[in-house]
């Protein structure tokens, strides 16, 4: 799962882990509130929304996780728990898309993994299995979830300009 932005701001160690990493991040600004009990969705359903959005975005580091998944071509993104980036929304397929870094050009690409609800960059639906370049600060949509792609420098800038909507812990 991603890290809540307020937790990053409250913990210097967590913040440093994100801002001093060479990995870019994805930000889900309209992420739902944290659930008290986990729900497992077996099918993709773009017509339902389980939870209302919170005012606390989720931040995901774009890197392979320690989870076991056999996909070696990139960093997986989807609703299933074995993805590198888990986006818990019913409109997102279990294995929705993946991100790849071109080792020669150092450009990140997003690839739709034949998802049922599609992957969109700049309002254009991606053809399945066709890489599309992701520019810094680009937004893309998986299902009905809009994510922002940020390099480490842009994420630091995002942190400086983001307006906290909840008081810091201990206040």
pLDDT of residue 9: 80
Mean pLDDT across 14-19: 77
Mean pLDDT across 82-95: 93
If 0-12 CB within 10 Å is exposed, 13-18 middle and 19+ buried, where does residue 116 land? middle
Phi, psi of 123 (to 5 degrees): 80, -5
The dihedral of CA 50, 96, 56, 65: what is its sign? positive
pLDDT of residue 11: 82
Q: 102-148 pLDDT, tens per residue?
A: 999 999 999 999 999 999 999 999 999 999 999 999 999 999 999 99
Q: 20-54 pLDDT, tens per residue?
A: 788 999 999 988 877 555 555 555 555 555 555 67
Residue 33 CA, distance from chain mean position = 15
pTM summary value:
0.83
pLDDT of residue 13: 81
Structure tokens, 131:
């890489």
13 Cβ neighbours under 8 A, 6+ residues apart: none
């Amino acid at each position: 799962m991603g890290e809540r932005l307020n937790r990053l701001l409250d913990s210097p160690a967590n913040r440093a882990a994100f801002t001093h990493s060479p990995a870019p991040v994805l930000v889900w600004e309209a992420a739902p509130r944290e659930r008290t009990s986990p729900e497992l969705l077996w099918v993709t359903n773009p017509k339902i929304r389980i939870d209302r959005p919170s005012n606390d975005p989720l931040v995901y580091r774009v890197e392979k996780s320690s989870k076991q998944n056999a996909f070696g071509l990139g960093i997986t993104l989807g609703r299933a728990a074995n993805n590198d980036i888990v986006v818990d929304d019913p409109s997102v397929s279990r294995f929705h898309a993946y991100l790849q870094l071109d080792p020669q050009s150092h450009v990140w690409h997003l690839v739709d993994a034949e998802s049922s609800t599609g992957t969109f960059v700049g309002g254009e639906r991606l053809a399945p299995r066709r890489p599309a370049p992701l520019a810094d600060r680009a937004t893309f949509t998986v299902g009905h979830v809009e994510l922002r792609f940020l390099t480490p420098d842009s994420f630091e800038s995002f942190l400086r300009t983001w307006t906290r909507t909840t008081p810091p812990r201990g206040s």
